[in-house]
Amino acid sequence: MKQIIPFNKDIAFKTMIGEIQSISLEHTLKIEEDNNIKGDFIVSGSYKMTEASTIAEEFSYKIPVDIYIDEQYNLEDATIDIDDFKYSIVNDDTLEVKIDVVLDHMQVIEPISDISTDEEVIRTHLDKEYLKRKEDLQDVTEQTQNEEEKEELLESKKEEETSMRNTSDKQNSSEQIYTTKNKEMVDEIQIPIETSDTKEQEPVESLFSKFSDEEDSYATYKVYIVRENDNLESIMEKYNVSVDELREYNNIDDLKINDKLIIPSHNEHA
């Protein structure tokens, strides 16, 4: 792969420039670590201050260069050279130079895999899942506590009612009237429950049971980077997931190249 890198530079002379008699361009550019190219352009030659002058003056200028090449390119076998060099006199005392550097034999580094373990994306998603499950567990716990309080209140009222009925058999008629009134008051606040003859009470679902009993629980996640020619159907077929599973973890309404998709990986059950 070849890449042209253009440079423009104005060199201010201390005197007027009537005519450039000779000019040359050299460079000391080298490829260093971390894909940096550093060195100097050396522009030198001779000139006359006026076209009528018979004396030629020497000149030499260094132009420092510092280029960074993106890490997606491998420069191990790359070469550097001058592709083109032009110059012109500007405002009678400034030499404008235009230099094109050619960087040849560059190689594009291909990704090792189209699956990237993007820890930050996965961690954010798992944190949200954890908070959601924690809220669900809290709701289940509160529901269980409410059921236990109802049971305790019911047992207390049943014991009170039984005691009042036993006492009413031994007391006189006036006491029976009083007991009956109290019984009616108890009946008014009694909390009914369902017995085995009516409807069996459904067990409270434990949040932790979802981790062990669900066939479609997820142990790991992967991040897929959308590439050219990809579409939703090809991604679903490649990773054996449904559109609902993808939609649960991603916004798939408008897929674009380089978008990241969280792919759930199914656990195998015996």
CA atoms within 13 A on the CB side of 112: 2
Looking at the structure, do residues 76 and 17 belong to the same domain, yes or no?
Answer: yes
Distance CA 195, CA 71 (A): 72
| 210 occurs within a structural domain | no
Of 156, 191, 226, the domain-final residue: 191
| 122 occurs within a structural domain | no
CATH of the domain at 247: 3.10.350
Which tokens is 128 given?
A: 């949200």
Looking at the structure, do residues 8 and 72 belong to the same domain, yes or no?
Answer: yes
Looking at the structure, do residues 81 and 24 belong to the same domain, yes or no?
Answer: yes
Contact (Cβ atoms closer than 8 angstroms) between residue 66 and residue 22: no
Instruction: Give the total number of structural domains in the chain.
Output: 3
Q: How many CB atoms lie within 10 A of CB 216?
A: 9
Backbone angles phi, psi at 176, to 5 degrees: -65, -40
Which stretches of the chain are assigned E, i.e. beta strand? Answer: 3-12, 19-27, 30-31, 36-48, 57-68, 73-74, 79-90, 94-104, 107-108, 115-116, 218-225, 260-266
DSSP three-state, residue 54: coil
Backbone angles phi, psi at 259, to 5 degrees: -65, 150
**Per-residue pLDDT reduced to its tens digit, 104-130:** 988 888 765 554 555 666 667 667 777
| 154 occurs within a structural domain | yes
pLDDT of residue 101: 92
pLDDT at residue 187 is higher than 70: no
Which tokens is 146 given?
A: 């409410």
Higher pLDDT, 60 or 204: 60
Of 191, 206, 230, the domain-final residue: 191
pLDDT of residue 29: 92
Looking at the structure, do residues 11 and 103 belong to the same domain, yes or no?
Answer: yes
Looking at the structure, do residues 265 and 176 belong to the same domain, yes or no?
Answer: no
| 48 occurs within a structural domain | yes
Looking at the structure, do residues 69 and 154 belong to the same domain, yes or no?
Answer: no
| 211 occurs within a structural domain | no
Domain region containing 232? 217-270
Rg (CA), the chain: 43
Please return the burial class of 99, using the count of CB atoms within 10 Å of its CB with bins 0-12, 13-18 and 19+.
Answer: buried
Backbone angles phi, psi at 245, to 5 degrees: -65, -40
| 124 occurs within a structural domain | no
Looking at the structure, do residues 8 and 100 belong to the same domain, yes or no?
Answer: yes
Conformation bin of residue 92: beta by default, left when phi > 0, alpha when psi is -120 to 50: left
**Per-residue pLDDT reduced to its tens digit, 13-56:** 999 998 999 999 999 999 887 888 999 999 999 999 988 888 89
**Per-residue pLDDT reduced to its tens digit, 55-94:** 899 999 999 998 888 888 888 888 999 999 999 999 999 9
pLDDT of residue 16: 92
**Per-residue pLDDT reduced to its tens digit, 220-268:** 778 889 998 888 899 999 899 999 988 888 988 888 899 888 988 764 3
| 264 occurs within a structural domain | yes
> If you count them, how many residues does the chain have?
270
Strand ordering across the sheet containing 218-225: 115-116, 218-225, 260-266
| pTM score, whole prediction | 0.41
| 115 occurs within a structural domain | no
Of 108, 142, 158, the domain-final residue: 108
Looking at the structure, do residues 10 and 104 belong to the same domain, yes or no?
Answer: yes
